[in-house]
Amino acid sequence: MTPFTRIPFNIQIFPKEGRIVLTGDLDGSDAVYKECCRALDDVQEPPQTRTPAPVRIWIVDAARMRLPRGGVENWTKVVMSHLSGCELVYERSQLAMNLAYDERYPHMNSKFHEDDSPSA
């Protein structure tokens, strides 16, 4: 049996494009959770005082990411703590497939691409 080689997790935020790119191993560790929170803390928008801001839409690209034990739960905590007021559109990935069929995933403003064909 070949030993599991860990691939360092990385999160990149592209605010102008509205993209979140996840690569490496999204596992259940505190280090991964904190890395996600730090990255998303940097792009938090100031609260609006009078007029509600439009819902922020983020495209989540996790195609080059692996999902070891605890990763779904960790990402769910990140979503609920930092992205709960946003709309998330998941591109096709292992993470998207897991979340799409997980009844415990509480984020109601998530959409999942079933295939790579362009949407109308």
Residue 119 lies in a domain: no
pTM attached to this predicted model:
0.84
Question: Worst-scoring range by mean pLDDT, 3-12, 14-23, 63-72, 73-82?
Answer: 3-12
pLDDT tens-digit readout, 44-75: 655 555 556 667 899 999 999 999 999 999 99
Number of compact structural domains in the chain? 1
Residue 39, pLDDT > 80, answer yes
Residue 14 lies in a domain: yes
d(C-alpha 31, C-alpha 27), whole Å = 9
Residue 100 lies in a domain: yes
What per-residue confidence (pLDDT) applies to 14? 94
Kindly report the CATH number assigned to the domain that includes residue 107: 3.30.750.24
pLDDT tens-digit readout, 85-112: 899 999 999 999 999 999 999 999 999 9
φ/ψ of residue 24, rounded to 5:
80, -155
